[in-house]
Amino acid sequence: MGFLIWINENGALVSCIVSLLGVLVTVVYVVFTHKQMKATQKSVEIMKTELRMAKQPCLILEIHSIESREALPNGRRFMPVPFSIENIGDSPALSVFCVSYMVLQHTTTKSGNRVVNMYSGPFFIEAVKAGEKTVKNSIHYENREITYMFDDLSVNLAKNWKRVHDNPSQHAHRGTSLVLCCYYRNVYGQWFESKLTREIGFAVDQITKEKTKENLNEFTFPPRLIEDNTCFTLQLHSPQASPQYRCEPVDEKYVQSVLGQYKEDWPELFYED
């Protein structure tokens, strides 16, 4: 009876306490519901990622012999980079774009960059089926890029000659890096990047003459300088000496930023629906 009397005498206070408890229960319910919603969203994102990665192509790149014939009558020179693509994954690779660039190790371009992009636009294949290998693929470099490459190799040669004379036990200086990248997606729209990096040592004159003992570099560039009638073959260091290969998923915006460099030459790379 005393409790009921107290309630009757303090009705306003009791109503306030009940209201506060109701608000507290509501807040706890909202917080719990929000956490449950975030956990559900996270589970959905994980499921989406697992679905995108369930069927994964994997493209293996291989660079073949790089040869440059004599320059055209107008002085224009081409250096094709032939390569093969093999899909060792379990699903087709779609919208395959291949690009290449060189990384100068000892010099820079006139604008101060160490990266020298290829002259040609991206190489494109609609699809590479699982287990398929394509071999007739090529991109190319021209005079500007070739000149930067040989300038860098010349400095590398001079540094290595000095190293051999002053400190033979020191590790050799590295030559220009040749990088080949391939961007592709699976059937669920997940993009991937395969990247192969090889080190360029020097170039050899294609004229088949026996080297003289007096000058072991008689047919190598550098130290020789290329001329319009020069035909050379690049010598790439063994991949076992400096293995650099990467194959991993990437974001679509990253792919767009890479291919966007060629938008002026190939505006239909990415278009608005």
Q: Does a structural domain hold residue 273?
A: no
Which residues contact residue 30 at a Cβ distance below 8 angstroms, ignoring those fewer than 6 apart? none
Give the residue from 229, 234, 236, 235 showing the smallest Cα distance to 69. 229
The reply to whether 8 and 101 lie within a common domain is no
Please give the tally of structural domains in the chain: 2
Q: What is the pLDDT of residue 18?
A: 65
Tell me how far apart the alpha carbons of residues 94 and 249 are, in angstroms, rounded to a whole number: 14
Domain span at residue 114?
55-267
> What is this structure's pTM?
0.76
- Which are the contacts of 242, defined by CB distance < 8 A and separation ≥ 6? 174, 197, 199
273 residues of the chain, pLDDT tens digit each: 565 565 565 666 657 776 777 767 777 777 777 677 776 566 545 455 554 555 789 999 999 999 998 999 999 999 999 999 999 998 999 999 999 999 999 999 999 999 999 988 899 999 999 999 998 889 999 999 999 999 999 999 999 989 888 888 888 888 999 999 999 999 989 999 999 999 999 998 887 555 555 566 778 888 888 888 889 999 998 665 555 788 899 999 999 899 888 876 665 555 444
Q: Same domain for 30 and 147?
A: no
Are 135 and 234 in a shared domain? yes
Beta-bridged to residue 202, according to DSSP, are 235
